[in-house]
Amino acid sequence: MERSFKKEVQALRLGNGDTFRGEGILAVTKALLQSGVSYVGGYQGAPVSHLLDVLVDAEDILRELGVHLETCTNEASAAAMLGASINYPLRGAVTWKSIVGTNVAADALSNLASPGVVGGAMIILGEDYGEGASVIQERSYAYALKSTIWLLDPRPDLPSIVRTVEKGFELSEASHTPVMLELRIRACHVTGEFPAKDNRRAQYSGVSRIPGPVRFEYGRLAHPPVTFLQERLKTEERLPAACAFIRDHRLNEFIDGDVREIGIIVMGGLTNSVLRALERLGLADIFGVSRIPILVLNVVYPLVPEEIRAFCTGKRAVLVVEEGYPDYIEQTVNVELRRAGLSTRVYGKGPLPKTGEYTSEVLLHGLAAYLQTTRPTGVDIDAIAAKARAVTARKTDVSAALGGLPPRPPTFCTGCPERPVFSALKLMQREVGPTHISADIGCHSFATFAPFSMGNSILGYGMSLASAAAVGPNMDRRPIAVMGDGGFWHNGLITGVASSLFNKGDGILVIMQNGYASATGQQYIPSSAAGGDSRAPGMSIEQTLRAMGVKWLRTVRSYSVARMAAALKAAMKTAERGLKVIIADGECQLARQRRVRAEELEKLKRGERVKRVRYGIDDDICTGDHSCIRLSGCPSLTVKPSPDPLRTDPVATVVDSCVGCGLCGEVAHAAVLCPSFYRAEVVRNPHWTDRAIFHIRQRVIGWLGGYNVKAAA
């Protein structure tokens, strides 16, 4: 795994009287156990910053409490798990990364929200938004509005997060509605402490089972005609019940201040950033005491009209701090104030930008602009503006001092088994000609950057083959779709392979079989060599494809560039119609290095022989053409000044980060480049045979060197 929580999860056993210290994501897990959940699950390939990894590492603790853990193959199957809460008093939570994961789960969520729930149901979302996000720029708010699912956005400190989780289940049960809890990356990794409680064993669980099914009730189904009644119940019963619970239990927070003629309404997850910006402007302290009153929305949907009206009464203006667009909260605040006949001016998008993440600098300038516009009594506006300008000037000075920095696009890891496939694709297209390449979500999408620059579309996880369905019939060359093994099991098997076979498609599918959902931290998948319990799940991509009816199928070692290029050429040129699949087989190098290095360390401790392979380049032979770099792009393959004073061009070199995958040599061979690469074996704790062979080689090399000198003379 990318990170192990085996040690940290022991803190989940803390109880009454103990103080829990740790990261936000561990606090969420502890809150789930304190809430008495019966089941938890989620999609491993899209973790909310390690939440499912924590749950997997804590599986023994879950088992003691009778909590069922399901590691689902995609977000839709995770969302469907919550169906257990429709009929039974079972509290359950599932997790995935939004918004892409919520898109996949949308069907199940709609059919969950319509009949509602008896047991508390919580969806924990990783709100991956802003310039640092790895997904499309959309928000979960629209799904909450569409399906009438309450959306929680806790203030990013551990006591608030834990309380929001616990009260979220109560809110769900009080209003018979599932809830979403969104967590930004900062909330997942914020550190702190809170007073722990004893873990609760649910009324019904794996150790205390439900005696039998409930009596059949058609009204609990998401099926016409009862869906029409369920839609009415959402607004006439569940919404008022939710608002009453939020108000009575004070889920939202109020921070008072002496500048009462204006105020700020902020999404809970942005509270710390707003307070930090106010502190930099001299309007708050480091402990969160603000001069400007703030309404912290730990529940961003639904908004409670009474709370909005009470906060805005007597204020000339309020600023709504809401990331993203459309401005759902700002619109709702405006509507509620106009309904109440209040003249409070609402600001939001204007002082603050419509799009993008609200970073500290963005909030600093947005708050300064809001204050300059409203000019509240008792605030030195000129000093505020000067402080904001000083921050901008300091950033400008630092940028000028550093100079222009080169762009650093993401790329494959050193030794990644997927890079050779794109080297082979590049070589194949030199001979056959360019063709349409459908990219996919995963590590292989890094091939869209230099030096490969391959990929004409990315439509969703596991969607590459389906996205090429209409390209093939309209192009004179077969399109190529690239998909990871994680994407294959997530969505590609049905939406891509089954659809292509059903419609008699004639495309090419390349499946990167590296054994894990690698881009998110080497989580296990159905075809992993070993699962979480060290036993193989027992599923095979090749057997599955043959069972589905794929006739043209090749499995090629990823690092064999020449064989991969030949397989791609054969797939492009064959007269055989139908789907052609090439499985590029090579374990994720990060996972392999973690395993191999640990094994080697143990061998060295025991004094056993350890051999490592390294590659290098002969400076005398390298021509300085650098085709190897353009075809490989490996971070360990770079340039250095030529040691020959008569040559001005730099030569290629392999730096110490090399993991010995052999790609550079394979590319040089497949592309018929210069023979400057050499392979070396570094042996530690050598046997006597290793020493003997070494001495013989040294003598032969010395003899050949002397012979060459004599021949030259």
Angle 63-68-71 (CA atoms, 0-180°, nearest 5)?
115
Domain-embedded: residue 601: no
The verdict on 573 and 482 lying in the same domain is yes
The verdict on 468 and 334 lying in the same domain is no
The amino acid that residue 207 corresponds to is V
The verdict on 118 and 263 lying in the same domain is no
Angle 647-653-657 (CA atoms, 0-180°, nearest 5)?
160
Q: How far apart are CA 495 and CA 473, in angstroms?
A: 18
Q: Provide the pLDDT for residue 281.
A: 94
- Is the preceding omega at residue 451 within 30 degrees of 0, hence cis? yes
Can you name the residues that pair with 624 across neighbouring β-strands? Answer: none
Domain-embedded: residue 205: no
* CATH code where residue 187 lies: 3.40.50.970
Domain-embedded: residue 653: yes
Domain-embedded: residue 598: no
Which residue numbers in the chain have pLDDT < 70?
1-3, 45-47, 49, 131-132, 532-534, 706-713
User: Exposed, middle or buried: residue 533 (CB in 10 Å: 0-12, 13-18, 19+)?
Assistant: exposed
Q: Provide the pLDDT for residue 705.
A: 72
Domain-embedded: residue 409: no
Q: Provide the pLDDT for residue 710.
A: 54
The verdict on 18 and 102 lying in the same domain is yes
The verdict on 637 and 671 lying in the same domain is yes
The verdict on 358 and 329 lying in the same domain is yes
**Helix H or strand E segment including 678:** strand 677-684
The verdict on 555 and 640 lying in the same domain is no
Instruction: Please provide the distance, in angstroms rounded to a whole number, between the alpha carbons at the two ends of the chain.
Output: 60
Give the pLDDT confidence of 438-473 residue by residue, as tens digits. 999 999 999 999 889 999 999 989 999 999 999 999
517 secondary structure, DSSP code: B
The verdict on 618 and 692 lying in the same domain is yes
* CATH code where residue 681 lies: 3.30.70
Q: Where are the beta strands (DSSP E) in 37-136?
A: 39-43, 68-72, 92-98, 121-127
The verdict on 440 and 363 lying in the same domain is no
The dihedral built from the CA positions of residue 410, 413, 417 and 423, taken in this order, carries a sign that is positive
Which tokens in the block code for residue 281?
């402007």
The verdict on 320 and 360 lying in the same domain is yes
Query: Burial code of 192-202, b = ≥16 C-beta within 10 A, e = fewer?
Result: bebebbebebb
- Is the preceding omega at residue 635 within 30 degrees of 0, hence cis? no
Whether residue 263 contacts residue 294, with contact meaning beta carbons closer than 8 Å, is answered with yes
Q: Is 506 helix (H, G, I), strand (E, B) or coil?
A: coil
CB-based contacts of 470, cutoff 8 Å, min separation 6: none
C-alpha distances in angstroms, 582 versus 461, 554, 634, 670?
19, 5, 23, 18
Whether residue 57 contacts residue 110, with contact meaning beta carbons closer than 8 Å, is answered with no
* CATH code where residue 378 lies: 3.40.50.920
Domain-embedded: residue 602: no
* Last residue of one domain, picked from the residues 400, 435, 451: 400
Q: Provide the pLDDT for residue 520.
A: 80
Q: Provide the pLDDT for residue 606.
A: 92
* Last residue of one domain, picked from the residues 561, 591, 621: 591
CB atoms inside a 10 Å sphere around CB 281: 22
Can you name the residues that pair with 69 across neighbouring β-strands? Answer: 40
Domain count, the chain: 4
Q: Which residue has the tokens 């996000």?
A: 133
Whether residue 294 contacts residue 241, with contact meaning beta carbons closer than 8 Å, is answered with no
CB-based contacts of 163, cutoff 8 Å, min separation 6: 154
The verdict on 193 and 321 lying in the same domain is no
Domain-embedded: residue 600: no
Domain-embedded: residue 212: no
The verdict on 555 and 466 lying in the same domain is yes
* Last residue of one domain, picked from the residues 591, 625, 656: 591
Residue-number span of the structural domain to which 423 is assigned: 419-591
The amino acid that residue 479 corresponds to is P
Q: Provide the pLDDT for residue 701.
A: 83
